[in-house]
Amino acid sequence: MSDADPDVERMLRVRTGDAAAFRDLVERWLRPLASFFHRLGADPSTAEDCAMEVFEKLFRTRGAYEARAKFSTYLFAIARHHWIDIVRHRAIGPTTVSSEAPGDGEGAGADRFAGTGGAPSDTAEEAEVLAAIRRAVDALSPEHQEVFALAQAGLRYQDVALVLGVPVGTVKSRMHTAVALLKDRLAREGFEP
């Protein structure tokens, strides 16, 4: 497996204590992980904290790592379980994430959905569109949000299926439904997707 995925090779080196390989993985995957959490509703600061917590878990459990799938699949499975824990904690404890929290520039607004890396302009029209997109994504069911966020993080449907533990057909169906619901919601609000 490591021949096809250089990150698997890095993680195998991390398992043996290679700190440089771990730094490489953090540099490569921190932003996609933070983006994943942000798309699920975490404010930018919480999203970055969640990403770092996933790396802490990854490092603590490095000895148990086995190269059975792509590294990204393994990493986002850890991230998904971490998010589930956060949502459970939020249901019984204080609120720790908010999709309505104001952005802090980089990683906010359009970045949450498109992964473009740029900060949105300050025009009122663009802010209105971003707010409509945010409301539309927030209105999706958790299952549809997960599929949408994982796909937006760059995972292929086969990898999303592995992360979620569902068939690829279910992923395709959920993504199709999510996109249709987003388009419908945006059209009802007067935006042409």
Q: What's the CATH code of the domain at 159? A: 1.10.1740.10
Tens digits of residue pLDDT in 153-193:
888 899 999 999 999 999 999 999 999 998 898 888 887 75
Does some domain include residue 83?
A: yes
Residue 38 resides in a domain: yes
pTM of the predicted model, to two decimals? 0.67
> Is 33 inside any structural domain?
yes
Confidence of residue 3 (pLDDT cuts 50, 70, 90): low
Number of domains in the chain: 1
Residue 113 vs residues 35, 64, 89: alpha-carbon distances, Å = 8, 33, 25
Residue 114 lies in a domain: yes
1, part of any domain: no
Q: How far are the Cα atoms of 4, 42, 43 from residue 35, in angstroms, in the given order?
A: 25, 9, 10
Q: How confident is the model at residue 86 (pLDDT cuts 50, 70, 90)?
A: confident
Give the CA-trace dihedral at 110, 147, 155, 117, to 10 degrees.
10
Say how many C-beta atoms besides its own lie within 10 A of residue 47's C-beta.
24
User: For residue 157, is it within any domain?
Assistant: yes
Structure token digits, residue 157: 């449907």
Considering only residues 113 and 22, tell me which one the structure prediction assigns the higher pLDDT. 22
Q: Give the model confidence (pLDDT) of 135-149 as tens digits.
A: 888 888 989 999 998
Which residue range(s) make up the domain with 27? 6-188
Which among 61, 59, 62, 70 is positioned nearest to 8, based on CA atoms? 70
Does any domain span residue 137?
A: yes
Residue 99 lies in a domain: yes
